[in-house]
Amino acid sequence: MVKNFGGKNSKKVGRKFVSNYSKGGNKLRLVDDEDELYACVYKMLGNGMCHVLCSDNVQRLCIIRNKFRGRGKRDNTISPGAYVMIGKRSWETNCDVTNSKCDLVEVYNTNEVKKLKDSVTDIDWNMFKQFDQPGTNAGDDDPENEAFEFSNEEHNNDLENSILEQIKAEDGEVFLQDDGDMDFDDI
């Protein structure tokens, strides 16, 4: 029997369209050319476009190619705070650097971002901190950079102290109130 047999949507997400990361065949892509730069997405515009802040500290309009749209969008989800590799359009003549266009070349997931930060040290990765997605930390395992710390220790100590103060009266006696019998029909 055929592997992708089924109803309406099963063939669309069949095995032949999935890129296989489990075999380890995919190598981390680094910058090869002088027109390629690392960037961070800071605003999604729609219609296959987004604004990115590049590693040379210039904001550019990034055009998302069709490879990363439609069926290829599964493993290449682009959102604000995503780390990407872009290619500058060196063939275009543009006087204004801030309105220059670029093409999306690669999208990095969180595991690849960790490897990228370890392998490429000549770039100041802290410039992209302001665009990181909350909760992902984009490869930072440093507890100082975490936004929240969940702890009940201080609250528990305050609660215990207040209870002990209420229990101990000046005489050292404990007062208990008897509410009497309760009628469940009144409730």
Domain map of the chain by residue range?
19-141
Mean confidence (pLDDT) of the chain: 77
How many beta carbons lie within 10 A of that of residue 178, not counting itself?
5
- What sign results for the dihedral spanned by CA atoms 161, 164, 169, 171? negative
How far, CA to CA in Å, does 27 sit from each of 8, 54, 162?
34, 22, 59
- Report pLDDT for 139: 45
H-helix or E-strand spanning residue 101 = strand 101-108
Of the two residues 162 and 174, the one the predictor is more confident about is: 162
Rounded to a whole number of angstroms, the distance between the first and last alpha carbons of the chain is 65
What's the DSSP call for residue 184? T
Architecture of domain 19-141: Beta Barrel (2.40)
- What's the rounded Cα separation, in Å, for the pair 165 and 172? 11
pLDDT of residue 37: 94
How far is CA 116 from each of CA 41, 51, 107, 151, rounded to the nearest angstrom?
Answer: 16, 21, 12, 33
Dist CA 156 CA 128 (whole Å): 38
Q: Measured between alpha carbons, how far is 92 from 101 in angstroms, rounded to an integer?
A: 9
Highest mean pLDDT among 11-20, 36-45, 65-74: 36-45
Question: Tens digit of pLDDT for each residue in 93-149?
Answer: 776 766 789 999 999 988 899 999 999 999 988 888 887 765 554 445 555 555 666
Q: Which of 133-147, 148-162, 167-181 has the highest mean pLDDT?
A: 148-162
Question: How far is Cα 31 from Cα 73, in angstroms, rounded to an integer?
Answer: 22
Is the pLDDT reported for residue 66 higher than 80?
yes
Between 83 and 20, where is the model more confident?
83
Per-residue pLDDT band for 40 (boundaries 50, 70, 90) equals: very high
Report pLDDT for 12: 64
User: CA 159, CA 137: separation in Å to the nearest integer?
Assistant: 33
Q: What is the pLDDT of residue 103?
A: 94
Most confident range, picked from 6-15, 41-50, 85-94, 156-165: 41-50
pLDDT at res. 173: 58
Task: Decide which of 186 and 54 is more confident.
Answer: 54
| Among the listed residues 133, 137, 131, the one whose alpha carbon sits nearest the alpha carbon of residue 111 | 137
